[in-house]
Amino acid sequence: MPYLCNIHSHTTYSDGRNTPEEMVAAALALRFSALGFSDHGYAPHDVCSMSEETEPLYRAEIRALQKKYAGSIELALGYEHDASMADTDLSFYDYAIESVHFVHPNGVYCSVDESAAALASHIQTHYGGDPYALCADYFREVCASFERTAAQVAGHIGLVTKFNEGNAMFNADDPRYTRPAQEAVRLAVEKDMLVEVNTGAMSRGYRTEPYPGRALLALLRELGGRVIITSDCHRAEWMNYAFDSTLDLLASLGFREVWAWKRGRFEPMGIQEVYANP
C-alpha cells in the first residue's frame, strides 16, 4: 500500500468548494493515509480567507473530524498563513504553511494569483510595466516571510509564475527572475523549511509544472532541501492531482525521499513508498 497524503487543502471555511467532511470522503476513496487541512488564515484584504469569527469554528470542526475518523485516516489541522498578516498564534495548529499571495507596492495589496489580467495590470500600474520588478518584489516578500515565520512549510515558491506558462508574461530563465527565486530557495533550505511541491496551478489548467519549477527543484536537490508534494486542492476531485508525474519529476532530478504527514508530524519516506502506481 502506498503512503498517500496531502497537507495543503482548502474547504468551504475559506475558498474551497467542498466541506471538510467531503474532502475526507475524497481522501478515503483514494485510500489516503493522511490528509491535512490548510484553510487561508484571516487577512482583511483577502476575499479568500477565513474571518476572525470562523477560524475557531474551523479548528473545532477539524478536531472533531480527527476523532471521528481516527483509525480510518490520519487528519491534521493545518493553516495557510499569508505573509502579509502579522504573525498569528500558530500553537492552535498541527503545522502551518507560510505563503505569499500579495505584493504591496505603494501600500496597495495586489494579489499575484488572481488572474493574468489583474497581474498584468499590477505590473503596469505599480512596476512601470516591468514584470521582473514585480517578481523581485514578490521574492523579497517570500524571503522576509521565511526570515520571521515559525511555520514549518514553505508555500508555493514561485506563485508569481501561475500565469506564465510558456513564458507568456516574462522569461523565467532570465537572471532577473532566477536570481531572486534562487535566493528564496536557498533561504528555505537554510531555515530548514519543508518546501512544498505544489500542483495547484496544474489542476486549474494554468501550468504543466508544479511550483517551484524544474530549475528551482534541481537547485533544491543540490542543496539537500526537503520536499513534500501537495495539491493545494480547492475541490475534492483535485486531491491528488498530478502526484505521480510530480514524483516522476522529483525522481528524475535525483530526489530519493519526499516528506509526508505521519503519526502527528512530518516524516521522510522513500520515494517508492508514495507512488500510487509504482
- Nearest CA-CA partner of 69 in 32, 18, 40, 14: 32
CA 144 centroid distance within chain: 17
DSSP 101: -
For Zn ion, the binding residues in 215-254 under the rule CB under 5 A are: 232
Strands 194-198, 226-230: pairing kind: parallel
Burial class (CB in 10 A: 0-12, 13-18, 19+), 192: exposed
For Zn ion, the binding residues in 118-137 under the rule CB under 5 A are: none
Piece of 53-61, 72-80, 102-110, 213-221 that binds Zn ion (CB under 5 A): 72-80
Position 145 contacts Zn ion (CB under 5 A): no
Piece of 13-21, 26-34, 44-52, 75-83 that binds Zn ion (CB under 5 A): 75-83
Over the window 1 to 40, marking each residue x when it contacts Zn ion by CB under 5 A and - when it does not, the resulting string is ----------------------------------------
Long-range contacts of 114-118 (CB under 8 A, 24+ apart): 115/163, 116/163, 116/168, 116/169
Residue placing its CB nearer to Zn ion in the complex, 61 or 232: 232
Q: What is the DSSP string of 116-143?
A: HHHHHHHHHHHSTT-HHHHHHHHHHHHH
CB of 254 to Zn ion, least distance (A): 27
Over the window 76 to 95, marking each residue x when it contacts Zn ion by CB under 5 A and - when it does not, the resulting string is ----x---------------
Strands 194-198, 153-154: pairing kind: parallel
Position 55 contacts Zn ion (CB under 5 A): no
Of the residues 84, 99, 149, 152, which one makes contact with Zn ion according to CB under 5 A: 99
Q: Which residues contribute to the site for Zn ion (CB under 5 A)? A: 80, 99, 232
